[in-house]
Amino acid sequence: MAGRLEGKVTVVTGGGSGIGRAAAALFAVEGAAVAVLDRVPEAAEETVDQIVAAGGQALAVTADIVDSDGVNAAFDWVNAQLGPVGVLYNNAGVNSSGSVLTATEEDWDRCLAVNVKGTYLCSAAAARTMVDHGGGSIVNQGSVAALVGVANFAAYCASKGAVVALTRSMAVDLAPSGIRVNVICPGTVYTPLMRPMLTVRGGGDEEKGLAMTVAKYPIGRLGTPEDIARVALFLASDEAAFMTGSVVTPDGGMTAQ
């Protein structure tokens, strides 16, 4: 049976860790040629090694998604090496802690730049190719922090809210070109990104922070990278052919309360 992304060239940003690594691996299992884009070359290469060892096709690409020249060169390289990009998972992102009173301007700027400008730059680079090749699918990474106020996450909440708004805008603009754009808003997923935040929440005790966080989830656990990767696969694939501009919320019921 053909995979759900058979023959598709996909780019996964932040593919060197966490959710991005799980998604890159799953996309490859489903038949995609996967460009694993990350700021950290060794991280991208490690993901690629794992995919290739499992019999998949993958290419490591190093770029910082806030650098437009670097992003454009990276997408040109992927188009040349693997073929025209048909799927983009805008997964790379950074956290930023602090309320509007305590967050530093530097953290605010970095968080907005990576999470919002980075999503815009990668989307523009991919969409230019998709327009010329009959369409494609873009999956953005939001967060429950776009939908509810999460304490001491001001810049992060603002950045993910902007990603949801950008998703809707792109969905409307790009639909005539056959490009679907959706956004995933995951609840807390146990990854390297989250562990320092759990420690802060627990007053220096990660286990305590973990227990306090799990208590907010009716389903009684945090998400796994694979939980989110499966949603990304669905949205990336033709199974979601009638979905664009959707906000999909794999969050263990966190925002249902």
**Residue matched to tokens 């907005």:** 112
Rounded to whole angstroms, the Cα distance separating 232 from 228 reads: 6
Q: Toward ligand NAD, which CB reaches closer, 177 or 256?
A: 256
Stretch that binds ligand NAD, among 4-12, 27-35, 122-130, 186-194 (CB under 6 A): 186-194
User: Which of 12, 30, 85, 118 contacts ligand NAD by CB under 6 A?
Assistant: 118
Pull the structure tokens for residue 202: 């627990």
Residues in the interface with ligand NAD (CB under 6 A) total: 29
User: Is 191 an interacting residue with respect to ligand NAD (CB under 6 A)?
Assistant: yes
Q: Toward ligand NAD, which CB reaches closer, 192 or 204?
A: 192
User: Is 227 an interacting residue with respect to ligand NAD (CB under 6 A)?
Assistant: no
Rounded to whole angstroms, the Cα distance separating 86 from 180 reads: 11
Q: Which of residues 36-95 bind ligand NAD (CB under 6 A)?
A: 38-40, 43, 64-66, 91-94
Rounded to whole angstroms, the Cα distance separating 256 from 120 reads: 29
User: Which of 123, 129, 143, 244 contacts ligand NAD by CB under 6 A?
Assistant: 143
**What count of Cα atoms within 13 Å lies in the side-chain half-sphere of residue 129?**
25
Q: Are 7 and 28 in contact (CB under 8 A)?
A: no
Rounded to whole angstroms, the Cα distance separating 251 from 235 reads: 16
Listed in sequence order, the residues at least 6 apart from 167 whose beta carbon sits closer than 8 Å to its beta carbon are: 140, 142, 181, 182, 183, 245, 247
Q: Toward ligand NAD, which CB reaches closer, 193 or 247?
A: 193
Rounded to whole angstroms, the Cα distance separating 177 from 132 reads: 9
Kindly name the residue from 89, 156, 190, 217 that is annotated as catalytic: 156
Helices (H), 30-104: 41-53, 68-82
User: Is 189 an interacting residue with respect to ligand NAD (CB under 6 A)?
Assistant: yes
Cα dihedral sign for 238, 240, 241, 244? negative
Q: Toward ligand NAD, which CB reaches closer, 96 or 237?
A: 96
Least Å distance, CB 225 to ligand NAD, is 6
User: Is 14 an interacting residue with respect to ligand NAD (CB under 6 A)?
Assistant: yes
Least Å distance, CB 238 to ligand NAD, is 24
User: Is 252 an interacting residue with respect to ligand NAD (CB under 6 A)?
Assistant: no
Instruction: Note if 190 is an active site residue.
Output: no
Rounded to whole angstroms, the Cα distance separating 222 from 217 reads: 7
Residues in touch with ligand NAD (CB under 6 A)? 13-14, 16-20, 38-40, 43, 64-66, 91-94, 114, 118, 141, 143, 186, 188-189, 191-194
Enzyme catalytic residues? 156
